[in-house]
Chain A
């Protein structure tokens, strides 16, 4: 199965391959590609803006790749034209890349196999020499054109095999298209961390910390993500975590702190072994909450058998 969220999947995949994560193909790492910049906006030779999703470069091959990907069927014609006007000098002077990395460069465009025909037409209209990669059930393959270095081109021929279920998720865990249960995977461990530390209050900033790239996102995008993070915690308060966390609706406090929550019952503060059972109980509630968000169904709590007969 190809990934449900193409943007997150490809970002995590290419960063992961450059960093040499186990379980991913090692070709990029072996060719010494390094993940350089995420969504860097810079001007081309005509003073027009481009903002590739990711830039990677290899000193060994003296080569840079600017990645642009789309889940939909069309690339904007104007966007492709602007990319075609990016020069070696732009990469060095405006994108902060070294001379040793920019001997040649490629604009790699990636889309879904089901949109192959439309994407091919878009590239052919230029015509542009951009390598077009297609996401298939089993990996990534070059469909049109080629990478300049033979070694890089060979990586995707006939197919770069990828088990999409084994992609990393940590670098970019969620985006605005992610489901609330995916946000719950970020939010609830953070809530447990705060409870373990004995905190009395949960602020939006605490939730934002769970998204590593938070500070580099635009304010508008941050706002959209914040809404989802907060909605997730609100749902937790109404469901499984209702005995422990409550939304603070005091108007004055809300004006000062924004949307925030009080920890009204904390059985795990201090993390003592004596509270291990409570940790387990909260872990079980976390599981039920994620299941509830995923399926819309309440999952009954599993009772632990008291085999020792303790009171």
Chain B
């Protein structure tokens, strides 16, 4: 396959892949392999927020080089600024199309197999401090579902990652809950699971499948069906790449606005004007639905520096039931501070810190601690708005 040399050529290529796959699916009711699906990974590159083409290329060479993708990696510049093709492997080639139009929030497209691309993206995020996934908490995934019509959803909760409880005890929380629900009744099942007395604490939305028309009034044959995962991976099929990319960029723009907003609101700064000193900003307040049974064990896990939290810090006891932690976020290499009690956690971003770190923490608490954990600002307004939620 000739590599696309412009974004326009990439769009044509992905349109062909999508429509071919959908025609095949309609005809045979199955796909040959997931190579016919378009995959898009939403990746945040915090330190590159002001990067130009050369700086972006330099970072790609340093991070996508042999350490991540192996010796066979070839990085190709294109005619378009900040648009690159990356090839990896000798026989069955994996190709990534990197669109860094927004120098901080990248789109990485691929039609290669997920089994090849997913580990590469994972390595890219884990092995460097340049990149992070986009993290979509339940409320944001629900909102995305409202962009189109919901066709299915996935649940993914695993409490075993934060082992601060005895799972053998009578009142122990659920250990894990994973489920895929396809079809129009998925929402009804979710509603039942969220009922009091059911599994409200463990019903963590991890994926939504959405059918989206670019403009149904003009053409009701031009649509996409996209699976959108909580870690920013989107998989698309359908008849229209334009529908697909419109849906993906709608999601991304919404996310970017929020992340920039978090950085403004949740970074504490001292301001001084004519001898008048004031404090701007506030922490993000996280509230635990049930008091943490073992705060020390919880801190040891969350601040161990490991995935998925990627925070390295030392919990210091400030009282019989409280800790503070000055940690380093291993994604951006910046300090973050925390104050914890069994009922709450206050999270402070240092100046220049990354709003994506807040989204990562909150989303992973939903997946690994309790799906009903709350994130609020000082006005007790939900920090991750639920407006227009469809699920």
A residues with CB within 8 A of B: 15, 19-23, 29, 35-41, 96, 163-171, 185-186, 188-190, 192-193, 196-197, 210, 212-213, 215-216, 270-274, 276, 279-280, 283, 286-287, 290
Contact residues in B for A271 (Cβ distance below 8 Å): 128-129, 330, 333
Question: A residues within 8 A CB of B378?
Answer: 19-21, 29
CB distance from A23 to the nearest CB of B (A): 5
Q: Which of A41, A96, A163, A279 contacts B305 (CB 8 A)?
A: A279
> A280 and B305: CB pair below 8 A?
yes
| Chain B interface size range | 35 or more
- Chain B residue, CB-CB nearest to A181: B316
Q: Say how far B65's CB is from chain A's closest CB, in angstroms.
A: 13
Assuming the contacts A170-B268, A190-B335, A197-B333, asked whether A273 and B127 have C-beta atoms less than 8 A apart, the reply is: yes
CB pair A276 B306 closer than 8 Å:
yes
Q: How far is the CB of B20 from chain A (nearest CB, A)?
A: 38
In the complex, which residues of chain B have a beta carbon less than 8 angstroms from the beta carbon of A167?
318
CB of B287 within 8 Å of the partner chain = yes
A15 to B279, CA, bound (A): 8
Contact A36 B335 (CB under 8 A): no
Q: What's the dominant secondary structure at chain B's contact region? A: strand
- Who on chain B is nearest to A194 by CB? B333
**Residues in B neighbouring A272, C-beta threshold 8 A:** 67, 127-128
Contact yes or no, B318 A165, CB < 8 A: yes
Q: Quote the shortest CB–CB distance from B149 to chain A (angstroms).
A: 37
Name the CB-closest residue of B to A294. Answer: B316
> Does B305 lie within 8 Å of A283, measured CB to CB?
yes
The answer to whether A23 touches B344 (Cβ under 8 A) is: yes
- B334: which A residues are within 8 A, CB to CB? 193
Complex Cα distance A98/B314, Å? 43
A190 and B313 CA atoms in complex are apart in Å by: 11
Given contacts A165-B320, A166-B341, contact A186 B277 (CB under 8 A): no
List B contacts of A290 (CB < 8 A). Answer: 314, 316
Q: Let me know if B333 and A22 touch, CB within 8 A.
A: no
CB distance from B175 to the nearest CB of A (A): 22
Interface assignment of B376: CB less than 8 Å from any CB of chain A: yes
A21/B127 contact (C-beta < 8 A), A163-B319, A169-B318, A196-B330 known: no
Give the shortest distance, in Å, between A190 (CB) and chain B (any CB): 7
Q: Is A164 a contact of B327 with CB atoms below 8 Å?
A: no
6 closest Cβ pairs, A-B complex: A165-B319, A20-B378, A22-B285, A271-B129, A196-B333, A216-B277
Find out whether the CB atom of A213 lies under 8 angstroms from the CB atom of B285: no
A15→B312 CA distance, assembly (Å): 27
Chain A CB count within 10 A is highest, among B285, B287, B312, B319, for: B312
A-B contact pairs, 9 of them (CB 8 A): A20-B380, A22-B376, A23-B339, A37-B278, A39-B277, A163-B322, A166-B318, A170-B348, A290-B316
Q: How far is the CA of A274 from the CA of B306 in the complex (A)?
A: 12
Docked-complex contact B285 and A21, CB < 8 angstroms: yes
> Is A192 a contact partner of B275 (Cβ separation < 8 A)?
no
Question: Chain A residues with Cβ under 8 A from B129's Cβ?
Answer: 196, 270-271
Chain B residues, Cβ within 8 Å of A169 = 318, 324, 339
Closest B residue to A168 by beta carbon equals B339
Partner of B128, one of A40, A270, A276: A270
Contact partner of B282 (CB less than 8 A), chosen from A21, A213, A286, is: A21
Scoring B129, B269, B304, B343 by chain A CB atoms within 10 A of each residue's CB, the highest score goes to: B129
Using an 8 Å CB-CB cutoff, how does the interface string of B309-343 with A read, 1 for contact, 0 for none? 00011101011111010111010011101010101
Asked if B328 and A189 sit within 8 Å, CB to CB, the answer is yes
Of chain B, the residue at the smallest CB distance from A169 is: B324
Which residue of A has the minimal Cβ distance to B67?
A272
The answer to whether A216 and B270 touch across the interface, beta carbons within 8 angstroms, is: yes
Q: How far is the CA of A170 from the CA of B285 in the complex (A)?
A: 13
A36 to B376 alpha-carbon distance, docked (Å): 22
Look across to chain B and name the residue whose beta carbon is closest to the beta carbon of A186: B326
B351 / chain A contacts, CB cutoff of 8 Å: 212
Are B320 and A22 in contact, CB atoms less than 8 angstroms apart?
no
- The answer to whether the Cβ of B346 comes within 8 Å of any Cβ in the partner chain is yes
Q: Can you name 5 extra interface pairs (CB under 8 A) apart from A213-B270, A286-B314?
A: A35-B279, A168-B283, A170-B348, A272-B128, A283-B312
Any chain A CB within 8 A of the CB of B171? no
CA A273 to CA B127, docked complex, whole Å: 5
Chain B: minimal CB distance from A246 (Å): 21
Residues of the B chain whose Cβ atoms lie less than 8 Å from the Cβ of A276: 305-306
Structural contact, B282 and A20, CB atoms closer than 8 A: yes
